[in-house]
Amino acid sequence: MIYKIYQSLLFPLVASLTLDNVLHVQKALNTPPNAKNLDQKQIDLDKKMESLAVVPYNSEILSPFHFDKRQFYLAGQNIVIKQKWGQLGVAAVVWDAAVVLCEYLEKHRNMLEDKTVIELGAGMGLAGMVAGLLGVGRIDITDREIVLDDLRQNIQENVHNQVSLKTIQVKALDWSHDLENFTDHYDLVIGADIVYIEETFEDLLRTISHLAQPETEVILASKIRYKRDKDFYKMLGKTFSLAKVHYDKDKDIVIYKAKLRIHKEL
């Protein structure tokens, strides 16, 4: 409540602030107030996210991140995603990359048919649930443990068809330590806006390589904000053949498709 009042008092002020001040105010607004309840590792990660939140990837002050709910019409149905920016930060809101990825998957739904799919860093799961609704063989929608309750809730509230619900599994996958729980290879690995914290890049690359076999297609939707984001794709390009397959000009989101270049010993 105090947080909300704080926000509403600040919004009218920001129009007259310099960019530096705006970024400073945003940093304050973007700090999850419940950080005290999280474990130390999570607090460290959130601090990292918080420091990233001051840069222009959230340059609109009245950002849709602050809405409690977002509504989309995708896969032939209305999808309502509950957001909790104040509690969970970046994982609990829908990013443009997820929307662009959903639209791409809708247009290319034949690539999903009967496939085993995994979504990495799913957040509130929009892209994974749309893939599930469009008709996959099976999809594992993954993120860090702390995100999973809200992720599950959003999926359950939007996916009513029993067949789709059976094919969608929500699983913990932190790129830094859960890989041993994933022994299967997937036909398709998808991710929206998961390339943004440099310290996670090596783990993310290892995760993608671990989940992929030579036929696996990796589809990543990204906003390229910094040189380091480009560098991630350069690193991915060392072991995967990489192509830009789509660019959404309005949202400034690129979709990359990658396939293992070097055949791993299976």
Ligand X SMILES: C[S@@+](CC[C@H](N)C(=O)[O-])C[C@H]1O[C@@H](n2cnc3c(N)ncnc32)[C@H](O)[C@@H]1O
Instruction: Annotate each residue in 118-137 with x if it binds ligand X (CB under 6 A) or - if it does not, as one string.
Output: ---xxx--x-----------
The one among 31, 116, 153, 176 contacting ligand X by CB under 6 A: 176
Non-local CB neighbours of 145 within 8 Å, separated by 6+ positions = 172, 174
Instruction: Annotate each residue in 51-70 with x if it binds ligand X (CB under 6 A) or - if it does not, as one string.
Output: --------------------
The one among 61, 133, 155, 194 contacting ligand X by CB under 6 A: 194
For residue 67, give the nearest of 40, 41, 93, 39 by alpha carbon.
93
Q: By CB under 6 A, is residue 193 in contact with ligand X? A: yes
The one among 147, 189, 208, 236 contacting ligand X by CB under 6 A: 147
Between CA 208 and CA 153 the distance in angstroms is 26
Identify residue 208 by its one-letter amino acid code.
Answer: I
Residue 75 or 90 with smaller CB distance to ligand X: 90
The DSSP annotation for 83-117 comes to: --HHHHGGGGS--HHHHHHHHHHHHTGGGTTT-EE
The one among 97, 133, 134, 159 contacting ligand X by CB under 6 A: 97
The number of residues making up the chain comes to 266
Between CA 88 and CA 125 the distance in angstroms is 14
Q: What is the number of other CB atoms lying within 10 angstroms of the CB of residue 5?
A: 9
Least distance to ligand X, CB of residue 68, Å: 16
Least distance to ligand X, CB of residue 81, Å: 9
Least distance to ligand X, CB of residue 265, Å: 26
Which residues here bind ligand X, judged by CB under 6 A?
A: 90-91, 94-95, 97-98, 121-123, 126, 143-144, 147, 173-176, 192-194, 196-197, 200, 203
